[in-house]
Structure 1
Amino acid sequence: MSLRALFLCLCTATAAQAQVPVLPDEARQVTERIDLLDSYDLPVGVISDGVLPVRGFEGRVDRRAWQLTGYAGSTLQIMDPIRAQLIRAGYEIVLDCAARTCGGFDFRFATEVIPAPDMYVTLEDFRFLSAIRTGEALSVLVSRTQSDAYVQAISVTPAGRSKPTPEDTVTIPETEPQAQPDLISTLTQTGHAVLSDLEFATGSNNLSAGNYASLAALAEAMQRAPEMRVAIVGHTDTVGRLDKNIALSKRRAEAVRDRLLSDHGIAPGRIDAEGMGYLSPLTTNLTPEGRETNRRVEVMLLEP
Structure 2
Amino acid sequence: MKRFFTSLLLGCLCFSAQANTEHPLISAYPEARLRKQLSYDYETFRFPTTVVSESQSYDVMDATGDLYQYFYTIKGASTLKVYENYAAALKALDFTIIFSCLREACGTEQTSKVLGEHLSPEGAVYNYYHKPYYLLAKKNTPKGKVIGAWFIGGYEDETAVQQVIVETEPLENTLIKVDAAYLSNKPQATSPTETADAKELSKDHKLFARYPGAALRNHETVDYETMTLPAAPGSQGQQPLKLSGDLARHFYIIKDTSTLKIYENYKQALDSAGFSILSHCELEACGKEAQQLGNSISVENAVYNYYRKPYYLVAKKAVDEREVYVALFIGAYESEAAVQQVIIETETLATDLIKVDADSLKQQLEATGKALIYGIYFDTGKAVVKPESRDTLKAIATLLTRNPALLLYVVGHTDDTGTRENNVTLSQQRAAAVVDNLVKQHGIAPTRLLAQGVGPFAPAASNDSDTGREKNRRVELVKRLQ
TM-score range, shorter chain: 0.3 to 0.5
TM-score w.r.t. structure 1 length? 0.45
Task: Decide which structure has greater strand share.
Answer: 2
Q: Which has the larger radius of gyration?
A: 2
User: Which structure ranks higher in relative contact order (CA pairs < 8 Å, sequence separation ≥ 6)?
Assistant: 1
> TM-score, structure 2 length as denominator?
0.30
